[in-house]
Amino acid sequence: MTFRIQPLKGVFRPLTYQHQLQKAESLKGYKLYIALLFLASMLVYAISAIFGLGSESISKEIIGLGSNEYEARKELFLAGRIILGAFVAAALIFLGALFFWSYASLPFSKLAVIQMSAFSIFLVEKLIQIPLFLFLQIDASSNPLSFGVIAQYITDQELIISFFSKITIFQIAMIVLTSYYLAKMAEVSRKAASMLVIGFFVFCWAVSALFSYIKIGVFF
């Protein structure tokens, strides 16, 4: 049976999608959707950079620069965000699939297909954040769809706030979706699948929060 990859179908019709994917003997559109998701991620990050989102780490550095230096820094920032978009896509799709593959008895390609659907949710989140952040004039740490806002009332530690700001309703949806597929297809308990997926996401949140905290500003 040839399985046609449709990431959004995997989000909105997981029961049907999971059943078909589990029975699949070959995958159609694997390389195409990998390329499309990478390009979409790079585009979303580029749009965010054009509107200045994520530039908090370098905002103080560009004050007082000459016009040529300012434009050069803007172009460097844009290039860095595009590279980051590709890196995030690779991490969530391939690194995620590799991590789950080391524990689950499923082919790597099918795990990557699962991650494509989860990554589609991530892209929707990033698209929603652009007008949301611009309209409210906030950064990621004050995202009303995350736990970062709550963390700000509990502590003033920037690293902790940054970590909790990564936990959003969309990220939780990604965890639930991925856990569902792993539990059904890898024939493991829902609890075991959830713990595995949560472990991966906590690692991603921690790395992302650390990068934000140490302010790798030249590119990101």
**Domain residue ranges in the chain:** 2-214
Alpha-carbon 188 to chain mean position: 25
- Predicted local distance difference test score (pLDDT) of residue 84: 93
- Under 8 Å between Cβ of 3 and 18: no
What is the pLDDT at residue 219? 36
User: Measured in whole angstroms, how far is the alpha carbon of residue 195 from the centre of its chain?
Assistant: 19
CB 55: neighbour CB atoms within 10 A? Answer: 20
Reference 120, options 44, 190, 27; nearest CA is 44
User: So what's the pLDDT on residue 60?
Assistant: 54
Q: For residues 194 and 77, what is the distance between their CA atoms, to the nearest angstrom? A: 36
Element (H, E) at 176: helix 169-185
> Which tokens in the block code for residue 18?
């999971």
> Helix crossing, 30-50 with 108-136: angle to 10°?
20
State which residues of the chain have pLDDT below 50.
Answer: 217-220
Number of C-alpha atoms within 13 angstroms, CB side, residue 139? 14
- Given a contact cutoff of 8 angstroms between Cβ atoms, the answer to whether 108 and 126 are in contact is no
